Amino acid sequence: MGKQDIRKLNASQIKDWLVQNGEQGFRAKQVHEWLWKKSALSFEQMTNLSLPTRELLNTHFEIRPLTVDQQQRSNDGTIKSSFKLYDGNLVEGVLIPALRTDDLDRMTACVSSQVGCSLTCKFCATGYMDRKRNLDAAEIYDQVVAIDRQAKENYDAPLTNIVYMGMGEPLLNYKNVLESVDRITSADGLGMSPKRITVSTAGIAKMIRQLGDDAVKFNLALSLHAANDTKRDQIMPINESNTLDVLGDALTYFYRKTGTRITFEYILFYNFNDTLQDAQELWKFTKRVPAKINIIEYNPIAEANFTNTDPQTLDRFAGFLESKGVTVNVRRSRGKDIDAACGQLAGKK
């Protein structure tokens, strides 16, 4: 049967097991702290436990940390890591340091939630992979810990932000994603503010409503990329079962439950979704909820033939939205030279 992964147990379950095996119940709090606050990767590191207790734990349990398989550094300072999981599967995570001189302390981790993806978005490298499995909460947590270590080693600064925008659709791994957020934000975990975390979805309406019911505190981003169903169907097949009207209702519900402003992510593809008509449709859709729009630079992949719109069209598109009072940010891609930019993660070796 093999050893049980101790990080799949909560503090209460660890306590019950320890008591049943002749240990004192308060040891569970110490073990839990080592696992989630101090990010211990072995029982030997748990030095405030007696040697017999550590040996008992090691006999029955294991910790399955991910390891850095490969690491690449971009010309712009972005660091992409290929992480190997205990079963040999690979996922990718990215450290994105700030470039702006007024925000030099900003360090962002982009983490993955699945091995591959099932959504087949036509512009995304991960969408051309099979979805092999979901990551568990500890595997997502380990990415954050590893990227935080990279930030400290390379930039002498800790992580300030986390985005669930790597490989996979986070809301199709709902339980583990929320559990990982809890481990990252709780006082007996890493203690980060949930307002520094953004979960990005391609648009799973049912689960967006569930986020509202669960009153989550983190930020929500929707990868929109077209504000009419005909165009969105072409590039994001998930839209066929989660139409814009359905998504709009779900986002309204989420905002009513949480009071959290939505971020819309929109890639401007040349001669596809970059006209003033497209901008007007986007404006009308985003009026449903308080929102901001991030216009994202397209990052080419071998599997698709899309190209970026030209600078003049981008300026005209953004200018129209701003004239309507919409908050618009134009995001320049980072790490393109190492396939670390948005939409390029594919677990390549």
Annotated binding site: 117, 121, 124, 168-169, 200, 223-225, 299
Tokens of 155: 């930039």
Q: Output 214-218 pairs: Cβ under 8 A, ≥24 positions apart.
A: 214/178, 215/257, 215/258, 216/178, 216/181, 216/258, 217/185, 217/258, 217/260, 218/181, 218/185, 218/194
Of 44, 62, 92, 240, the catalytic one is 92
Is 303 marked active-site? Answer: no
Using an 8 Å Cβ cutoff, are 86 and 30 in contact?
no
Place of tokens 């701003």: 322
Tell me the pairing of strands 79-84 and 90-97.
Answer: antiparallel
Q: What are phi and psi of 171, to 5 degrees?
A: -80, -5
Tokens of 242: 């989660």
Is 110 marked active-site? Answer: no
Binding residues for [4Fe-4S] cluster: 117, 121, 124
**Relative orientation angle of helices 311-323 and 276-286, to the nearest 10 degrees:** 40
Of 23, 110, 297, 342, the catalytic one is 342
- Catalytic residue set: 92, 342
